[in-house]
Structures are given as structure tokens and as C-alpha cells.
Amino acid sequence: MLARLLAALPSQCAVCRRWQGQPLCEGCVQRFAQPEPRCNTCALPITGGAAQCGECLRHPPPLDACICAVAYAYPWSDCIARYKFRQQPGWAAALAELLRHAPWVEPALECADLVLPMPLSPQRLRERGFNQALEIARRLAPAKTDARLLLRIRDTTPQLSLSAAERARNVRGAFALEPLRAHRLRGLDVVLVDDVMTSGASLFAAARTLREGGAARVTAVVLARTAKT
């Protein structure tokens, strides 16, 4: 009852500061979250009508598709930082709706057998207090979300200060499947959810683990994509 009452209270849009009923107003979503052509398998912006970027053509990633809602830029970088680093998990619902706004997200979720959030290491989870990818995944597909199948078994150096090659080495062997439940992955269509994709090293490493475990198809659904690093 209290949750329904709180949800009915007016709030300010975090972008334009207009009073309305949601933390992100429809006008700002329409203005700042317009779709743009992106590589089908790494979500970097591309031009000329190509389906994939040159790097993915030369070195195909372990993803069948990668769908991104917005660029990691104003105003979304501020919203994500507020959610992720200032312990505001209440943002998950608004960011999940922003992700649903992206073309092809709904069809990917409908086709998926499982929706798996990118896992955090136990140490990072203690520091942050919640898994930001899990909270978004639960709001995208609560009946399909499984937070216990894909595990992060090794804490890694923060990726931000590393080069692309260093990031790939950093996450090598960082993911595994829960041994007693790994069999349920075989032959399934899986959606992997994350909040921000930078070089793609973490997502690709997780996707390889899912492939090795028998997943038939792996699609990444990410809220925001940084520029090429």
C-alpha cells in the first residue's frame, strides 16, 4: 500500500526538472534517447548502412547480437552514475523502461529462455550494496531472470584505467557457471543484461562462458555504450 502511494506522488524529471510522475519524463526520453545505427554485435555507432563494424567482421565476438539503448553521455551518464555509485537502486525501474524504449529489446526478451544479469564479485557486491544489472533485469523479465547461474568467481581490477587489451586479460577466467545448475543452459536462447558496455571485454568473457556451457544463442542487452576506447 505504501509503495503504491509513494509511486503516485509527483516527482521531478532528473533531466529537465519538470514536475511529473516519473524520474524521467517522456519528452526527455524522446529527445535524448533516439535510436542510431549501431553494429549488430558490439553496439558501436556505424554509418553507411552496414550491419557490423570492421572489427566485428575481422574478429567476430561471442555474441549473436548486442542491443544498446543510449550512448554513455549526457544526460544518461549522470543518471547511471546516480543509480550505480550513489546507492540509489530505486532508479532501476526508470532505467529498465529506458532500455525497453530501444528497438529490438522487447523481441529479444520475448524470445529468450533465460535472462541473466552480469554478475558482480562478492567483494564488489558488498561495496555497492546491490547488483545494478540484476535490478534492471528483474524489471525487464522477472519470470525469466536467473541471478544464480552465471557467477563471477574472481574479483578483477576496475576496467576504467585499462587499455582494451588489458581489459581482455583482466577478465579472462573471471566467469563460471554454477556447477549444479549449468545443465539447464544447454540449447537455450539467453539474454545477458548489463548497464554500461565499454570495451565489451567483460560481456564477451561472460558470453564465451555461456557458449562453452551450451547456450544456443547469446544476446547482450545494455543500457548505455561508451564511445570506442
Higher pLDDT residue, 9 or 35? 35
> Please, what is the average pLDDT of the chain?
89
Kindly write down the DSSP assignment for every residue of 29-68, as one continuous string: HHHH-----B-TTT--B--TT-SS-HHHHHS--S-SEEEE
- Percentage of the chain beyond pLDDT 70 is 88
Q: Which of 25-29, 160-164, 218-222 has the lowest mean pLDDT?
A: 160-164
Residue 139 has pLDDT above 70, yes or no: yes
Name the band, by pLDDT with cuts 50, 70 and 90, for residue 158: low
Domains in the chain, CATH or no CATH each: 1-32 (no CATH), 37-225 (3.40.50)
Name the band, by pLDDT with cuts 50, 70 and 90, for residue 34: very high
Tell me what pLDDT residue 6 has. Answer: 40
**Which helix or strand (DSSP H or E) is residue 192 part of?**
strand 189-197
What digits encode the pLDDT tens for the residues 48-98?
A: 889 999 999 999 999 999 999 999 999 999 999 999 888 888 899 999 999
Tell me what pLDDT residue 2 has. Answer: 35
Average pLDDT over residues 164-172: 72
Q: Output the pTM of the full model.
A: 0.89
Residue 118 has pLDDT above 60, yes or no: yes
Name the band, by pLDDT with cuts 50, 70 and 90, for residue 162: low
Distance CA 62, CA 59 (A): 10
